[in-house]
Amino acid sequence: MTVESRTISLADAEATRSLGRALGQSLSAGSVILLEGDLGAGKTTLVQGIGEGLAIADPIVSPTFTLINEYTEGRLPLYHLDLYRLSPKEVEALYLENYWEGVEVPLGIVAIEWPERLHYKPTNFLSVQLIYSPDSGRQANLIPVGKFELNLTVLDSFC
């Protein structure tokens, strides 16, 4: 079963990690997650949870300076990309579509921070917008795009 979009309230960083864990347990190979949000909004924390959900034992760290971290020892590979320090032209030269098309690496989960720097996006992806406001607290807006399917039972414990 799919969902159009969902807004989830997140009490704290552990709730963000827990949402990531649920996603990691349910996503299939070839899933792309585009993570949007201000600095410190919880993008890397969510990816850490995804790694836990994929049973990746290695610590998941921000790839801000390395650009791409590859974790291949879990249920599925996890490719964590951070485009913050790059211009759109530099991003285009990286041929990141190889990650979601499985051309040079096995298909896995691709989590991309700062996706607005992508020259083009995959056809199907999950947009996750992490927002913090003093008035409404932390929340995640999950928006499936294209034919991306998200299992509703993953979200039940957060709604």
Domains along the sequence of the chain with CATH:
11-119 (3.40.50.300)
pLDDT of residue 139: 93
**Closest listed residue to residue 82, CA positions, set 46, 125, 124, 123:** 46
Q: Residue 110 has what DSSP assignment?
A: E
**Closest listed residue to residue 106, CA positions, set 81, 74, 77, 80:** 77
pLDDT of residue 1: 42
pLDDT digits 0-9 by tens, 81-102:
999 888 888 888 888 888 998 8
The Cβ of residue 116 has, within 10 Å, a number of other Cβ atoms equal to: 10
Q: How confident is the model at residue 158 (pLDDT cuts 50, 70, 90)?
A: low
Mean pLDDT, residues 100-115 taken together: 92
Question: Which residue has better confidence, 74 or 3?
Answer: 74
